Amino acid sequence: MSFKDLIKNAIFEEEPQSAQPVQPPSGRPVRAVPPAPSGAMPSAMPAAMPPATGRDNEFYGRLAKQTDLAAIPELAKIESFAAPLVNVIPDRTLRYKAAMATAQSQAGLTKASVLRGFDSLLATLDSASNSFTSQSDEIGKSDVDGKAAQIADLNTSIEQKQKEIADMQQQVKAMQAQAETSRARLQQAKANFQAAYQRRKAEIEQQRKEFETILQ
């Protein structure tokens, strides 16, 4: 899994995956190593590290794969001479001193070439760090900042909707005022009509009585 995939998983997964112990890429278990005395050859085997958990564990696994000690020919050569001596020389430091001496005499290995191997690993590690930074920045722009742009667009839309709602609320208030005015005018019209009706009715009834008198 690439750094980009790991970063995206770290961003978008709600829960980190459960931690799993990381084994060196060679498949050999990590062993605790006592500090080597001054002048001792750097060990071809890594010292035991505190177990990483969650997302850190996945990043470590990726880095460990990219910087496998077995990929350094000088270290692989020393390991090949040290492996048969495990039962002969139990002391780790002495065993690797013997392996180094053998490698120097039989394979022309030097301390400088071994250290250059470690320098190569550190350069690879730095390159991985730069790659991670570049890819995380890229994802930050495309996925994280992209969300910020979407949020800004949504906020703008919300503001527009709020303005529309405010305008509609003003329209409602205006229509309510118009409705009250119209209701009052309607009531007045009813009252005016009723008064006119009663007045005209009284006039007709009065005229009817007058004609009754005339027609007798």
Is 97 within 8 Å of 41 (Cβ atoms)? yes
* Percent of the chain whose pLDDT exceeds 70: 74
Could you report the per-residue pLDDT of 148-202, keeping only the tens digit for each?
Answer: 888 889 999 999 999 999 999 999 999 999 999 999 999 999 999 999 999 999 9
Could you report the per-residue pLDDT of 76-113, keeping only the tens digit for each?
Answer: 888 899 999 999 999 999 998 999 899 888 888 888 88
Q: What is the predicted pLDDT for the residue at 67? A: 86
CA atoms within 13 A on the CB side of 24: 17
Q: What is the predicted pLDDT for the residue at 55? A: 52
